[in-house]
Amino acid sequence: MRYLPLTDSDRQAMLATIGAASIDDLFVDVPAEARLSGTIPDLPDHASEMAVERHMAALARKNLSAGEAPFFLGAGAYKHHVPASVDHLIQRGEFLTAYTPYQPEIAQGTLQVLFEFQTQVARLLGCDVANASMYDGSTACWEAIVMARRITRRGKALLSSGLHPHYVSVAQTMAKFTGDHLAYETPELDSKTDSQKLIAAIDKDTSCVVVQYPDILGRIEDLTALADAAHATGALLVAVVTEPVALGAIKAPGAMGADIVVGEGQSIGVGLQFGGPYLGLFACKQKYVRQMPGRLCGETVDAAGKRGFVLTLSTREQHIRREKATSNICTNSGLCALAFSIHMTLLGEKGLRALAGLNHAMAVQAAGRLAALPGVTLMNDSFFNEFTLVLPKDARDVVRRLADRGVLGGVSLGRLFPTAPQIGNGLVVAVTETVTAEDIDIFAKALEEELA
Amino acid sequence: MTMLKEGRPTAPTPVEEAHMAPATATGNRALMLEEKLIFEIGSTDTTGVDFAVAPTGENRLGDLARADAIGLPGLSEQETVRHYTRLSRQNYAIDLGLFPLGSCTMKHNPRLNEKVARMPGFADIHPLQPQSTVQGALGVINELAVWLIKLTGMHGVAMTPKAGAHGELCGLLCIRAALEARGDARQVVLVPESAHGTNPATAAFCGYKVEDIPATPDGRVDLEALKARLGPDVAAVMITNPNTCGLFERDMKVISDAVHAAGAFVYCDGANFNAIVGRVRPGDLGVDAMHINLHKTFSTPHGGGGPGSGPVVLSEALAPFGPLPYTARMEDGSIHLIEEENVGEEMPQSFGRMSAFHGQMGMFTRALAYILSHGADGLRQVAEDAVLNANYVLRSLDDVLDAPFGGSGPCMHEALFSDKGLAEGFTTLDIAKGLIDEGFHPMTMYFPLVVHGAMLVEPTETESKAALDQFILALRSLAERAKAGDEALKGAPYHAPRRRLDETLAARKPVLSWSEPDLAAAAE
């Protein structure tokens, strides 16, 4: 077995040192009836590297990858070009095969990256501080709701209808058990969001308003009025960003008054990977830092006075506080945070703005072309790189037929909101810098034929 | 001095103390390069990425264009590669040497798994693509699921949890849903004192009251105390097996039977599954739910603190309550997803969704490649060699270090020592920092909490006897120095990129992001 270095003579010598006659003697504490005498039946034995690679490649070939087709899916996961150096650097063994930086003297590489990452995220989202990352956007969103409850000591959260329905589902799952009250309605196919409704619904029991920006239908709007209304009753505004590239073009939620900003960082550096691992972003105002979940990296000095970095404020965390911790989270998405940070460093502000500008320009071009098709209308007044088309028939079936023709043409609202057939004609289309004019042309022609 | 006729010396002058390690002007030490922050070396006008010129068109951003300076510095590609390469060299890693962190299972990460995970058919597919275009991905999930079920002797598996603690949450939510389905509102979860901190934190996070179960003097769950506490208010007992003292809970089946008789469920923390994989099936011990850290037992890389992945195997009683999305294989061999749309017909008791998409697909491909490489025979060998290596460490050092449970028999995959017998004023921390100078990552320290000054050593099966012997040599030397009261040990590490760091200062005046120096000074 190529990964196991012990030889039989090593094993015999080690057993002699231990004073055991056989390996079985080391398992003496396992009751005899629970000890398996041979290998588990119905499972194959070990295989060569070549055989395993062949097997996995055969499975990979059964998938239609995004790079093989005109590709327009978004809705919480986006295809962006990741520079080759990002993947090269995250595969350096010193990053890839390191553990959580519990011994800071020999983990300054990871720690400095986390400190830089926290700063990049805080600046991008327009907040004072960010943590070292969460599992993904959906779990970060729930953690933000819990944090707002801790801060306000109120148990009712108002969820915007523009919030990703899977994020809503995650929160609803948890709220069933924690007793938090969540107010939520599915969205309508309207260029206006439900902000006015949310403002009217805020009351003295409201812990927070949770709003996605850009929202699940691609709509963008100024959050200032919502923030002001929330703050007027002592509630918090939680903003959720699932496409962080947008913040190279549009105002940061923190700058519009959001108290906690969470998001999905996958867009920058991470790649689609069928939904995971992804990267939860979590940032907030300075005054709430001790209520944050997750790991935080901070600056300090060593015994010789040199600058260095450590994990800090860990008295919030489970390994110290156990059942009184702010969250049960233990890992973060370290390697994804590294990928995000490297990609962001390559981009810099100049590159990020260029990337965002290109995304928006391609999306505007696609929206114009697609909305000109017979029977198709563009729902949005404004958008970044994602918008909603209203088709003359159920979009779910159209998406499946497009896939059969080799076009990955967006996410249907039927897939996202299976219990809301009244919006089933909606199709959410994302257009990033990876889309070419030719892709738009192929998509438009295929869609026109499917609708004819 | 030996030199060529042009004056170039060809052999070194013998080093004298006075010539050792003078300070350098840059602070660099040859291959060990100091590296500033990107905010100190980059500029917002620099970029390492080129883009096509955007087509001209109207602006549809409303009035939301971002006008403020964001403050994100960029670097050219070469500067970027150097920055992160230099930083990487300040990290210890498995690729450099033995990484004996107890309960963390830092084993070799095979590179085939990295290659497989990067195949475009896995790395470049969207979670919401039509199911007809992702049959291979669903196949990976299903194939891995079958392995996990068979290796554990359980009934079903929830694949979506994103890490071990998320898996614990999944298991407890299944238990709570199952109890609620029978109208039973139990409020208490029992957790042993030696448990990982995530266990009580998870129970509290989903609304349970947590109570401790004491340990026996031999480091195991106190069965009588547990039995005495069981009652109609107890929803579940969370047990780590093998436990965090590195011992197998001999009474596991008896515990399970007692818990079930009292109407409660058994949650097993599977963090230490590496010790028993292929040799013992938790399902045979009465476990109802157990998370499996793919980043431990199945070797997906830890990446400096994640991403993890924590599928949860479930008993027949709990499987119907698992989370969405769930994969199901049809009679024609195709695999389909159970999501919100069809959950009503196919899995009506599911507790719902706990993360946005399908879980850690990038970890599934790696773990499956690892499992297929080992096969049933190789996985059994993994457990045997992991346990053998740990016992070899235990018996090679128990004459110089106190092994609190060493007298009760062999350990499983990790060896536990305490600080008993060190000279006055010497601590576990001193030994840990001394190991850094010897070229090793320290063991887990001060955990489990049930042992004073705990040192928990988990070598894993991928260490050779030669590597273990060198580690034993280092730890033996440090133990002897700490017992002899060698003051120099208190200053360790001397040879790492940094000396001991001031964690008190970091927590008292938290600096969590970088500020321009004039702004930082103004804030003082």
The pLDDT > 70 percentage for chain B reads 98
Give per-residue pLDDT as tens, A254-302: 999 999 999 999 999 999 999 999 999 999 999 999 999 999 999 999 9
Q: Note whether B229 and B245 are within 8 A (CB).
A: no
Gap between the Cα atoms of A408 and A66, Å rounded: 8
CA nearest B408 in A: which residue? A29
- Mean pLDDT, to the nearest integer, of A382-389? 98
pLDDT for res B45: 97
A367 vs B contacts (CB less than 8 Å): 60
In this structure, whether the domain defined by A68-81+349-451 belongs to CATH 3.40.50.720 is answered with no
Question: Domain containing B400 — which CATH number?
Answer: 3.90.1150.10
Domain boundary among B338, B368, B398: B368
Q: Does A304 touch chain B (CB under 8 A)?
A: yes
pLDDT for res B508: 93
- Are residues B356 and B398 located together in one domain of the fold? no
Domain count of the fold of chain B: 2
pLDDT band at B20 (very low <50, low <70, confident <90, very high): low
A324 vs B contacts (CB less than 8 Å): 204
Gap between the Cα atoms of A342 and B73, Å rounded: 11
Where in the sequence is the domain holding B476, given as residue range(s)?
A: 381-506
Question: Domain containing B140 — which CATH number?
Answer: 3.40.640.10
A318 vs B contacts (CB less than 8 Å): 165, 197-198, 200-201
Q: What is the CA radius of gyration of chain B?
A: 27
- Are residues B120 and B247 located together in one domain of the fold? yes
Give per-residue pLDDT as tens, B456-475: 999 999 999 999 999 999 99
Distance from CA of A202 to the nearest CA of B (A): 25
Contact A61 B353 (CB under 8 A): no
- Are residues B155 and B180 located together in one domain of the fold? yes
User: Residue B160: phi, psi to the nearest 5?
Assistant: -75, -25
Query: What is the helix (H) or strand (E) element at residue B444, kind and residue range?
Result: strand B444-445
Distance from CA of B399 to the nearest CA of A (A): 12
Give per-residue pLDDT as tens, B327-366: 877 778 888 889 888 888 899 999 999 999 999 999 999 9
pLDDT band at A450 (very low <50, low <70, confident <90, very high): very high
pLDDT for res A314: 85
Q: Does A305 touch chain B (CB under 8 A)?
A: no
Q: Does A147 touch chain B (CB under 8 A)?
A: no
Helix and strand totals (H; E) in chain A: 14, 13
Residue type, A413: L
- Mean pLDDT, to the nearest integer, of A166-186? 95
Q: Where do runs of H (alpha helix) occur along B29-133?
A: 38-41, 77-88, 111-117, 120-123
- Are residues B411 and B314 located together in one domain of the fold? no
Q: Is the pLDDT of residue A357 over 80?
A: yes
Given A65, A101, A303, which is nearest B125 (Cβ)? A65
- Mean pLDDT, to the nearest integer, of B141-161? 95
- Are residues B388 and B496 located together in one domain of the fold? yes
Gap between the Cα atoms of B391 and A24, Å rounded: 13
Distance from CA of B367 to the nearest CA of A (A): 11
pLDDT for res B321: 96
pLDDT for res B524: 59
Q: Which two tokens stand for residue A248?
A: 């190279």
Tell me the residues of chain A between 43 and 102 that have a Cβ less than 8 Å away from chain B: 43-47, 49, 51-53, 55-68, 71, 73, 75-77, 79, 83, 85, 87-102
Contact A105 B493 (CB under 8 A): yes
Cα B33 from chain centroid?
29
Q: Note whether B346 and B340 are within 8 A (CB).
A: no
Assess if residue B427 is contained within a domain: yes
Residue of A15, A63, A133 to mutate, interface with B, max B Cβ within 10 Å:
A63
Tell me the residues of chain B between 375 and 414 that have a Cβ less than 8 Å away from chain A: 375-378, 380-382, 384-385, 387-389, 391-392, 394-396, 409-410, 412
Assess if residue B48 is contained within a domain: no
Contact A251 B52 (CB under 8 A): no
A84-343 and A68-81+349-451 share a CATH fold: no
Assess if residue B439 is contained within a domain: yes
Please give the class, per CATH, of domain A84-343.
Answer: alpha beta
Contact B84 A113 (CB under 8 A): yes
- CB-count burial class (<10 Å; 0-12, 13-18, 19+) for A368: middle
Give per-residue pLDDT as tens, A119-128: 999 999 999 9
Q: Note whether A133 and A244 are within 8 A (CB).
A: no
B356 vs A contacts (CB less than 8 Å): 76, 136-138, 164, 166-167, 170, 264, 275, 278
- Are residues B248 and B155 located together in one domain of the fold? yes
Q: How far apart, in Å, are the Cα atoms of B488 and each of B137, B316, B478?
A: 55, 58, 11
- Are residues B348 and B425 located together in one domain of the fold? no
Find the distance separating the first CA and the last CA of chain A, reported in whole Å.
59
The pLDDT > 90 percentage for chain B reads 85
pLDDT for res B420: 97
Q: Does A436 touch chain B (CB under 8 A)?
A: no
Gap between the Cα atoms of B213 and B190, Å rounded: 6
Q: Where do runs of H (alpha helix) occur along B306-457?
A: 343-346, 361-397, 428-437
Angle, CA of A299, A303 and A305, to the nearest 5°: 60
Q: What mean pLDDT is reported for chain A? A: 96
Q: Does A287 touch chain B (CB under 8 A)?
A: no
Tell me the residues of chain B between 428 and 457 that have a Cβ less than 8 Å away from chain A: 432-433, 436, 441-442, 447
pLDDT for res B523: 63
Bridge pairing between strands A206-212 and A236-241? parallel
Q: Does A194 touch chain B (CB under 8 A)?
A: no
Q: In what order do the strands lie in the sheet with A181-183?
A: A129-130, A280-284, A260-264, A236-241, A206-212, A156-159, A181-183
pLDDT for res A317: 77
Q: Which two tokens stand for residue A271?
A: 């790649």
Contact A382 B64 (CB under 8 A): yes
Least confident of A145-159, B95-109, B196-210: B196-210
Q: Does B365 touch chain A (CB under 8 A)?
A: yes
Name the residue with tokens 């007692």: B258
Gap between the Cα atoms of A205 and A207, Å rounded: 6
ipTM over 0.95: yes
pLDDT for res A209: 98
Q: How far apart, in Å, are the Cα atoms of B450 and each of B196, B216, B298, B446, B520?
A: 11, 10, 28, 9, 43
3-state secondary structure B284-311: HHCCCEEECCCCCCCCCCCCCCCCCCCC
Q: What mean pLDDT is reported for chain B? A: 94
Q: Note whether A233 and A203 are within 8 A (CB).
A: yes
Q: Is the pLDDT of residue B13 over 90?
A: no
CA nearest B114 in A: which residue? A91
- CB-count burial class (<10 Å; 0-12, 13-18, 19+) for B280: buried
Hey, is B280 helix, strand or coil?
strand
State if pTM tops 0.95.
yes
Q: Does B70 touch chain A (CB under 8 A)?
A: yes
pLDDT for res A245: 98
Q: Does A362 touch chain B (CB under 8 A)?
A: yes
- Are residues B127 and B204 located together in one domain of the fold? yes
Q: What DSSP string runs through B360-387? A: -HHHHHHHHHHHHHHHHHHHHHHHHHHH
Distance from CA of B360 to the nearest CA of A (A): 4
The pLDDT > 90 percentage for chain A reads 93
Tell me the residues of chain B between 314 and 333 that have a Cβ less than 8 Å away from chain A: 323-324
Domain boundary among B368, B397, B425: B368
A403 vs B contacts (CB less than 8 Å): 129-130, 132-133
Query: What is the helix (H) or strand (E) element at residue A386, kind and residue range?
Result: strand A386-390
Cα B215 from chain centroid?
25
Contact A106 B90 (CB under 8 A): yes
pLDDT for res B18: 54
- Are residues B119 and B155 located together in one domain of the fold? yes
The pLDDT > 70 percentage for chain A reads 100
- CB-count burial class (<10 Å; 0-12, 13-18, 19+) for A188: middle
Q: How big is the A-B interface in CB pairs under 8 Å? A: 725
pLDDT for res A330: 77
Tell me the residues of chain B between 126 and 165 that have a Cβ less than 8 Å away from chain A: 126-130, 132-137, 139-140, 143, 147, 150-151, 162-165
B200 vs A contacts (CB less than 8 Å): 318, 322-323
Give per-residue pLDDT as tens, A194-213: 999 999 999 999 999 999 99
Given B65, B197, B467, which is nearest A318 (Cβ)? B197
CA nearest B251 in A: which residue? A31
For residue B168, give the nearest of B145, B185, B191 by alpha carbon: B191
3-state secondary structure A46-65: CCCHHHHHHHHHHHHHCECC
* Domains of chain A, residue spans: 68-81+349-451, 84-343
pLDDT for res B1: 63
Distance from CA of B111 to the nearest CA of A (A): 10
Assess if residue B8 is contained within a domain: no
- CB-count burial class (<10 Å; 0-12, 13-18, 19+) for B15: exposed
Gap between the Cα atoms of B411 and B405, Å rounded: 8
Ramachandran assignment for A282, one of left (phi > 0), alpha (psi -120 to 50 degrees), beta (any other): beta
Kindly state the greatest CA–CA separation across chain A: 83
pLDDT band at B235 (very low <50, low <70, confident <90, very high): very high
- Are residues B218 and B358 located together in one domain of the fold? yes
- Are residues B258 and B345 located together in one domain of the fold? yes
Residue of B205, B414, B503, B505 to mutate, interface with A, max A Cβ within 10 Å:
B205
- CB-count burial class (<10 Å; 0-12, 13-18, 19+) for B5: exposed
- Are residues B311 and B420 located together in one domain of the fold? no
For residue B199, give the nearest of B188, B210, B207 by alpha carbon: B210
Given B70, B380, B506, which is nearest A299 (Cβ)? B506
Name the residue with tokens 């001193």: B430
CA nearest A139 in B: which residue? B355
pLDDT for res B7: 82
Given A107, A174, A335, which is nearest B307 (Cβ)? A335
Q: Does A211 touch chain B (CB under 8 A)?
A: no
Angle, CA of B158, B163 and B169, to the nearest 5°: 60
What angle, rounded to 10 degrees, do the helices at B428-437 and B465-484 form?
130
Give per-residue pLDDT as tens, B24-73: 999 899 999 999 999 999 999 999 999 999 999 899 999 999 999 999 99
pLDDT for res B77: 98
Gap between the Cα atoms of A160 and B318, Å rounded: 33
DSSP state letter for B134: B
Contact B129 A5 (CB under 8 A): no
Give per-residue pLDDT as tens, B425-454: 999 999 999 999 999 999 999 999 889 999
Q: In what order do the strands lie in the sheet with B415-417?
A: B415-417, B455-457, B444-445
Gap between the Cα atoms of A31 and B250, Å rounded: 7
Distance from CA of A37 to the nearest CA of B (A): 8
Residue type, B494: Y
Q: Does B302 touch chain A (CB under 8 A)?
A: yes
Domain boundary among B368, B399, B434: B368
Q: Does A182 touch chain B (CB under 8 A)?
A: no
Q: Which two tokens stand for residue B86?
A: 């230099």
Side-chain-side CA neighbours of residue B361 (13 Å): 31
Q: Is the pLDDT of residue A331 over 80?
A: no
